[in-house]
């Protein structure tokens, strides 16, 4: 593996590579961005470059610390265990890299316990924190790390990624994956391989067809469904938006070949007869409003219920 094989994030990759080559790479880094953007790939490549390794395999001087199974946070005891490993001397050479996944799950107490080690790690040790939410990292930690903010890939980069990883896909499928992934390459596997996602798509198109009936029982009927997907709310909303966009495009152009969700063309046609442009625009606004609320960590199941109620009122 090399940075050349990681699609996107060109400026960040160049800055990191140049600083490592020049010997000016700092001892603590915080790589932040949404799940699926490639934080772990970049963190792993940094470690390999620091150790001068070309083969991507396990090395004793690359310590990768992940949150324990079913654990919701990283506590002080976890940090003490990490610090203990940090202070062990490198085995093969004079360098060692510690990668902490899901660093945003560190409690405030755990972050404070880690602060001194991040500020002054043993000689030759580089610490890399990977975080999905920069706001959950204390300012004292952020001020002692070089921060790399990963952004979503653009359409050209996403097409490059999808065609490289899934060369067997036809053009319509490529477009579907790119649209659903919304610039996050890690989502593509979920779209293509996950049976749960197929169920998600089927259910959401059914909900859109039923909402126009105004029956209040629909919200209650799908409470359990939305609770099941409460941790995948981004995928749920992306699916809603994808269908609504297709309905708008079909109403405007009347051509099935421009539809992304081509496997649902009959449902798209039916929805185009049910909803007006004004109603579809209101639905998009409702979805965007729910997205903003969920980004602020509002209860997702409740937010979805309110979303359906508002959609029924358009």
Q: Which of 91, 114, 149 is the last residue of a domain?
A: 149
Q: Which of 89, 124, 149 is the last residue of a domain?
A: 149
Q: Is the pTM of this model over 0.75?
A: yes
Number of structural domains found in the chain: 2
pLDDT of 299: 83
Is residue 187 included in any domain, yes or no? Answer: no
Domain that holds residue 63: 3-149
Structure tokens at 153: 């890939």
Q: How much is the pLDDT for 72?
A: 84
pLDDT at res. 81? 93
Whichever domain contains 42, its CATH number is 3.40.50.300
Interval 26-70: pLDDT, tens: 999 999 999 999 999 999 999 999 999 988 898 999 999 988 777
- Whole-number pLDDT of residue 145: 96
| Mean of pLDDT values over 214-238 | 78
- Confidence class for position 214, pLDDT limits 50, 70, 90: low
Query: Quick one: pLDDT at residue 134?
Result: 92
- The 10s digit of each residue's pLDDT in 133-156 is 999 999 999 999 999 999 999 999
CA geometry: angle 112, 60, 107, nearest 5 deg: 20
* Positions of E strands within 77-235: 96-100, 125-131, 146-149
Percent above pLDDT 70 for the chain: 98
Q: Determine, yes or no, domain membership for 162.
A: no
Statement to judge: residues 226 and 295 lie in one domain: yes
In a domain, 106, yes or no: yes
Judgement on whether residues 122 and 239 belong to the same structural domain of the protein? no
C-alpha span between 233 and 158 (Å, rounded): 21
- Tens digit of each residue's pLDDT (9 = 90 or more) over 167-200: 998 888 898 888 888 899 988 887 777 677 788 8
DSSP percent split of the chain into helix, strand, coil, nearest 5: 60, 10, 30
Query: From the CA atom positions of the chain, what is the Rg in Å?
Result: 23
Instruction: Report whether 39 contacts 189 (CB < 8 A).
Output: no
């Amino acid at each position: 593996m090399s940075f050349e094989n990681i699609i996107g994030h060109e400026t960040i990759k160049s800055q990191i590579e140049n600083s490592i080559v020049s010997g000016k790479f700092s001892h603590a880094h915080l790589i932040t961005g949404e799940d699926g953007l490639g934080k772990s790939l970049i963190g792993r490549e940094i470690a390999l470059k620091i150790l001068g390794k070309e083969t991507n395999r396990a090395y004793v001087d690359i310590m990768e610390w992940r949150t324990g199974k079913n654990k919701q946070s990283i506590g002080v005891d976890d940090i003490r265990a990490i610090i203990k490993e940090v202070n062990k001397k490198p085995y093969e050479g004079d360098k060692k890299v510690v990668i902490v996944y899901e660093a945003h799950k560190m409690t405030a107490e755990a972050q404070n316990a880690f602060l001194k080690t991040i500020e002054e790690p043993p000689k030759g040790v580089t610490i890399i924190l990977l975080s999905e939410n920069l706001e959950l990292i204390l300012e004292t930690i952020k001020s002692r790390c070089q921060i790399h903010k990963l952004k979503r890939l653009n359409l050209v980069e996403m097409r490059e990624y999808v065609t490289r990883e899934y060369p067997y896909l036809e053009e319509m499928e490529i477009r579907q994956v790119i649209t659903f992934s919304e610039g996050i390459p890690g989502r593509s596997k979920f779209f293509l391989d996950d049976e749960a996602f197929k169920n998600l798509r089927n259910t959401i198109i059914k909900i859109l067809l039923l909402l126009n009936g105004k029956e209040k029982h629909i919200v209650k009927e799908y409470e359990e469904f939305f609770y099941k997907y409460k941790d995948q709310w981004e995928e749920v909303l992306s699916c809603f938006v994808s269908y609504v966009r297709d309905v708008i495009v079909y109403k405007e152009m009347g051509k099935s070949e421009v539809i992304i969700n081509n496997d649902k063309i009959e449902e798209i046609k039916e929805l185009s007869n049910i909803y007006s442009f004004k109603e579809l625009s209101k639905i998009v606004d409702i979805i965007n409003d729910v997205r903003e609320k969920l980004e602020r960590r509002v209860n997702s199941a409740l937010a979805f219920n309110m979303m359906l109620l508002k959609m029924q009122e358009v």
